[in-house]
Amino acid sequence: MLNPDDFIITRKRKKYKFANFSNFSNCYELEEVNIENALDHENITLELGAGNGVFSLGWAKAHPETFVIALDLKADRLYTGAKQALEEKVNNIIFVRSRADLFLDLLKPHSIDTIWLTFSDPYPKKRQAKHRLTHPDFLDKYRKVLKKSGVLLQKTDNDSLFEWGKEQLIDSDWRIVEESRDLHAMEGCDDIKIKTGYEKRYLKEGKNINYLKAKPI
């Protein structure tokens, strides 16, 4: 049987994926999310800027006791992970198309166990800094929604973004409890080494992957 993913040209493929996103049972627009149901789980992981959702899917498979929310603004990206999750019958994950700040504002205080930032857009220009996911405005939102035992996890290939983010964390009264400039040289930690598409490419190019775990003080 022919698979449209194999032959639709790029522009049409994006439209195809966007259209099918809304038809998948595990995919939601922001206004469609039942926050009460989404938060009715003992352990919740939220990935912001989830891209194609493959990392979130890997995390859900590695932690079947955890409910995972993969969030990104672009439905055609999330389509990949959502489709794979349905095919593999992974039921402890949903995919949400939304801006990060809008979604965070809907969450109850102290309702999230883990927040992941994976290869976030660095927004390199100074005037774009407010959009970085480690900007103090976002850190304040994370503090509000994380449980007392909750953690913020980040991995990125961008050394400048990593260092800038560390400065914001320290200045915003967060404690960095784990850090590495070469994640894949660390022993163990198999779940945090689940690779995104970008990560596989960067590793192939010999690029180091920065990683940290932080908790609000």
**Which 8-state DSSP code applies to residue 120?**
-
Mean pLDDT, residues 131-146 = 99
The 10s digit of each residue's pLDDT in 8-57 is 446 556 656 666 788 999 999 999 999 999 999 999 999 999 999 999 99
- The domain that holds 177 is classified in CATH as 3.40.50.150
The 10s digit of each residue's pLDDT in 170-200 is 999 999 999 999 999 998 889 999 999 889 9
The Cβ-side half-sphere exposure at 95, using a 13 Å CA radius, reads 33
Catalytic residues: 121
Please state, rounded to an integer, the average pLDDT across all residues of the chain: 93
- Domains: count for the chain: 1
Mean pLDDT, residues 57-84 = 97
CB atoms within 10 A of CB 189: 13
Mean pLDDT, residues 94-103 = 98
Residue 2 confidence (pLDDT): 44
What range defines the domain where residue 108 resides?
4-216
pLDDT over 80 at 134, yes or no:
yes
Residue 14 confidence (pLDDT): 63
Spatial distance between the Cα atoms of 32 and 106, rounded to a whole number of angstroms: 12
